């Protein structure tokens, strides 16, 4: 025979301990506060035993205390009360992120990556050998301005030894630089649009993740 103890506030079963018999009558157990001699009921998962109001037995109640659940990808909850149930339709494991949001984030990352790439510089052999030219938004405007007024001008570029300097360009050479830059930029934008189309048509997150952000 055992004492089955319960919490004084919640009345939930806590533990069992051996019965202590009365020293005056070894056939009679000593009474103890917050414990019953009544056998515990068989409990299944997410159930608990609670002492009934009359303290004559046990009630079997739901017990999801501490259980985490999700109402959506962003809404995580936790059961904090006795008798509180996990809401119908809730997820016990975090659901997948909505694919539309995954697509939007990927397209944003592709857009940021292409913007950085476009401003990273491009190569042209307008001077007879390959040189690197700057391509920030300001650089593109400056180059277009020089081409528009059709004059020879010193324009900054990097040679094959990695030296950046202003080097004299003829009108034809500046136009060649502008054309090479425009074709390079157009090719990058074509690649961006192709990757964006793959993302937009994707059905699974794996398809989206397979699209590289490196140009």
pLDDT in tens, 89-120: 999 999 999 999 999 999 999 999 999 999 99
User: DSSP character for 91?
Assistant: B
Q: In terms of C-beta density within 10 A (0-12 exposed, 13-18 middle, 19 or more buried), how is residue 56 classed?
A: exposed
What does the alpha-carbon distance between residue 33 and residue 126 come to, in Å, rounded to a whole number? Answer: 96
Using DSSP's 3-state secondary structure scheme, residue 139 falls into helix
For the chain, what is the radius of gyration of the CA atoms?
A: 38
**Domain coordinates of the chain in residue numbers?**
2-62, 65-95, 99-209
In the numeric block, the tokens 């319960």 are attached to: 6
Residue ranges in the chain assigned as alpha helix (H) = 99-118, 137-149, 171-201, 205-209
Looking at residue 68, its pLDDT comes to 97
3 state DSSP class of 150: coil
Q: What tokens does 92 get?
A: 């016990």
Angle (CA) 159-145-189 rounded to 5° is 70
pLDDT at 30: 83
Which stretches of the chain drop beneath a pLDDT of 70? Answer: 26
Distance separating alpha carbons of residues 46 and 26, to the nearest angstrom = 38
Phi-psi region of 121 (alpha: psi -120 to 50; beta: other; left: phi over 0): left
In degrees and rounded to multiples of 5, residue 82 shows phi and psi of: -65, 145
| The pLDDT of residue 117 | 97
The β-bridge partners of 69 are 77
Identify the pLDDT of residue 141. 96
| pLDDT at residue 186, rounded to an integer | 97
Q: According to the model, what pLDDT value does residue 27 have?
A: 73
* pTM of the predicted model as reported, rounded to 2 decimal places: 0.71
């Amino acid at each position: 025979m055992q004492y089955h103890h319960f919490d004084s506030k919640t009345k939930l079963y806590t533990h069992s301990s051996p019965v202590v018999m009365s020293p005056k009558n070894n056939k009679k157990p000593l009474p103890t506060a917050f414990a019953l001699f009544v056998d515990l009921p068989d409990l299944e998962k997410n159930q608990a035993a609670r002492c009934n109001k009359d303290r004559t037995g046990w009630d079997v109640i739901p017990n999801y205390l501490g259980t985490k659940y999700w109402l959506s990808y962003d809404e995580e909850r936790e059961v904090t009360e006795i008798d509180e149930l996990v809401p119908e339709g809730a997820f016990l494991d975090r659901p997948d992120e909505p694919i539309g949001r995954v697509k939007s984030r990927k397209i944003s990352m592709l857009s940021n990556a292409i913007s950085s790439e476009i401003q990273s510089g491009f190569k042209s052999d307008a001077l007879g050998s390959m040189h690197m030219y700057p391509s920030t938004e300001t650089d593109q405007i400056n180059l277009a301005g020089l081409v528009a007024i059709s004059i020879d001008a010193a324009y900054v570029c990097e040679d094959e030894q990695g030296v950046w300097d202003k080097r004299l360009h003829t009108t034809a050479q500046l136009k060649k630089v502008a054309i090479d830059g425009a074709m390079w930029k157009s090719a990058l934008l074509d690649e961006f649009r192709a990757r964006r189309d793959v993302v937009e048509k994707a059905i699974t997150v794996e398809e989206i993740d397979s699209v590289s952000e490196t140009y």
